[in-house]
Structure 1
Amino acid sequence: MDYKFKCDVKASDLWKMAMKRTYKSIVGVVNVVFTVAMIALVIRFWGEASSFMRSVMVIGCLLFPVIQPLATYGKSAKQLEDMPKDMELSFDDRGVHVETGGKSEDIKWKKISNAIKRSNMIIVMSDDRHGYMLTNRVLGDQKESFYQYLCSKIKG
């Protein structure tokens, strides 16, 4: 069976992936503990704090629930600028065929290391650090059958 998809990755897709990775790790636990501790400190010391210290406390409370996600979104948008536009991926028995900007590359199945299924996308890993993201918008109702196809081809 052959599959052909046009990549449509948005900054919000990269942001969701980064935030999910952060909050599934120990870093996410530290973020939550710090935020709860800051809120407790603000409640305890608000009345006796100067206006400067109140500002610092408010910024501390907003650091992980507001400022970090905004910074992550900005980083995702910048990362998206470096990614090729109008990329088209084709999958057949010979491997993965990547076309972008008039250039093409063929990747044999033995070079594909993994396929990762997330709730909003499938990531086809070409090595340990690089991959191709196919969102649910692109995959549509073919997501499940496509993932099964990938798994069968990668396992050989």
Structure 2
Amino acid sequence: MKMAVAPLRRGLPLDAPCERPPSPREAARWITTHPARRSLHINDRLPRLLHHCPELRTAHDLVRRFAGMLDNRDATLLPGWLDDLAKSGLPPLTSLAGALREDRHAVTQGIATPYNSGVNEGRITDVKLQKRLMAGRASVPLLRQRVVLIAHFRRQYADRPTVSPR
């Protein structure tokens, strides 16, 4: 503490406080969040981050273009976007482009139609969670009962009317 206060006593100028750089998880969240839903602070910091890191700028541009395809339900831009993804020079994005090309028809349908498998994925996640929680401690009938109860509670929760904000 004494060392921190000493420059103040001597009248030395203090360094401006530095902002902590965002973690990789924060940067990914900033990039994937729609610009209208970001806070003003993030909308101020993100351009500075993208200015200092061209790889992130490339990833940001590709993510925003894909989000535009999802928003407009327009899969006609997908082949060009996949080409740009493959040419990005970033190994994770290049491998993603290859994987998406292999399943291009499903990706096209996912972009162009309003249907998704979110409910099924949620149920599968519930089953896997119960399996992990009860590993070696429960019989199949007990696991089945727990999964049925979770599905029942989820349905009850989904059917409740939402309260509008005042």
Normalised to the residue count of structure 2, the TM-score between the two structures is 0.22
Task: Return the structure number with greater helix share.
Answer: 2
Task: Return the structure number with greater strand share.
Answer: 1
In our comparison, the structure showing a higher alpha carbon Rg is: 2
Relative contact order higher in (CA < 8 Å, ≥ 6 apart):
1
Normalised to the residue count of structure 1, the TM-score between the two structures is 0.23
